[in-house]
Structure 1
Amino acid sequence: MRFVALLMAAGIALSACSPSKFKKYNGPQVTQILVDKSDRKMWLLHGTQALVQFDVDLGFAPDGHKEVEGDGKTPEGVYFIDRRNPNSAFHLSIGISYPNEQDRAKAAAMGESPGGDIFIHGGPVLFKDRNKADWTAGCISVTNKEMERIYAMVKDGTPIYIRK
Structure 2
Amino acid sequence: MSSTLSRARRLTAVLLLLVLAPAAQPKFANPQQAVSPLAQSRAGRATTGSPEQMIVAALDAIGAGRMADARATVDALLVREPDYRLAHLLSADLYAMRHRPLRTVGDAASGPAEQLEGLRREAMARIQASRDAPPDDALPANLLVMAAKQQYAVLVDAKASRVYLFSNDRGVPRRITDFYTTIGKLGVGKEKEGDQRTPLGVYFVTGQMPRAQLDTMLGKKADLYGIGAWPISYPNELDRQQGRTGHGIWLHGVPYDTYARSPWSSNGCVALGNEDMRALSSSLQIGVTPVVIVRKIDWLPRTVWQQKRQAALSMLKHDPAATTPAGLSLFSGDATENQRVATFDDMQIPGGIRRQYWQRVDKEWRIVWDGPARAG
TM more than 0.5: yes
| Structure 1 position 74 matched with structure 2 position 74 | no
Distance 2:189 2:166 in 1: 23
- Quick check: 1:85–1:92 contact (8 Å CA) kept in 2? yes
- Quick check: 1:57–1:134 contact (8 Å CA) kept in 2? yes
- Quick check: 2:194–2:267 contact (8 Å CA) kept in 1? yes
- Please, what TM-score do these two structures have when normalized by structure 1? 0.71
User: What is aligned with 1:45?
Assistant: 166
Distance 1:105 1:154 in 2: 27
| Structure 1 position 152 matched with structure 2 position 282 | yes
For residues 132 and 43 of structure 1, do their structure 2 counterparts lie closer, same or farther at Cα, with a shift above 3 Å needed?
closer
> Computing the radius of gyration over CA atoms, which structure comes out larger, 1 or 2?
2
Distance 1:101 1:33 in 2: 19
Match of 1:133 among 233, 256, 263: 263
For residues 146 and 131 of structure 1, do their structure 2 counterparts lie closer, same or farther at Cα, with a shift above 3 Å needed?
closer
Distance 1:163 1:31 in 2: 17
Cα deviation for residue 105 of structure 1 reads 3.1
Distance 1:143 1:84 in 2: 17
User: What is aligned with 2:303?
Assistant: none
1:80-128 CA deviation, whole Å, 9 max, x = no partner? Answer: 01111112421211111000122223336xxxxx111111111035x53
For residues 31 and 139 of structure 1, do their structure 2 counterparts lie closer, same or farther at Cα, with a shift above 3 Å needed?
same
Cα deviation for residue 54 of structure 1 reads 0.5
User: What is aligned with 2:238?
Assistant: 102
1:134-154 CA deviation, whole Å, 9 max, x = no partner? Answer: 111100011011111112221
Pairs within 5 Å for 1:110-125? 114-125=245-256
SS at 1:146 equivalent: helix
Q: Which has the higher contact order (CA 8 A, sep 6+)?
A: 1
Count of residue pairs the alignment pairs up: 129
Q: Which stretches in structure 2 are left out of the alignment for 5+ residues?
A: 1-149, 215-221, 296-376
1:27-71 CA deviation, whole Å, 9 max, x = no partner? Answer: xx7421111111111111013211110111101011x41110111
- Quick check: 1:75–1:98 contact (8 Å CA) kept in 2? yes
- Quick check: 1:67–1:106 contact (8 Å CA) kept in 2? no
Distance 1:60 1:73 in 2: 6
SS at 1:153 equivalent: coil
Match of 2:185 among 40, 60, 68: 60
- Quick check: 2:204–2:232 contact (8 Å CA) kept in 1? yes
Cα deviation for residue 129 of structure 1 reads 5.9
Cα deviation for residue 133 of structure 1 reads 3.0
Pairs within 5 Å for 1:18-29? none
Which aligned segments of 4 or more residues in structure 1 are displaced greater than 4 angstroms? Answer: none
Q: Which stretches in structure 1 are left out of the alignment for 5+ residues?
A: 1-28, 109-113
Distance 1:49 1:149 in 2: 17
For residues 131 and 52 of structure 1, do their structure 2 counterparts lie closer, same or farther at Cα, with a shift above 3 Å needed?
closer
More helix by share: 2
- Please, what TM-score do these two structures have when normalized by structure 2? 0.33
Distance 1:145 1:37 in 2: 20
- Quick check: 1:80–1:96 contact (8 Å CA) kept in 2? yes
For residues 50 and 119 of structure 1, do their structure 2 counterparts lie closer, same or farther at Cα, with a shift above 3 Å needed?
same
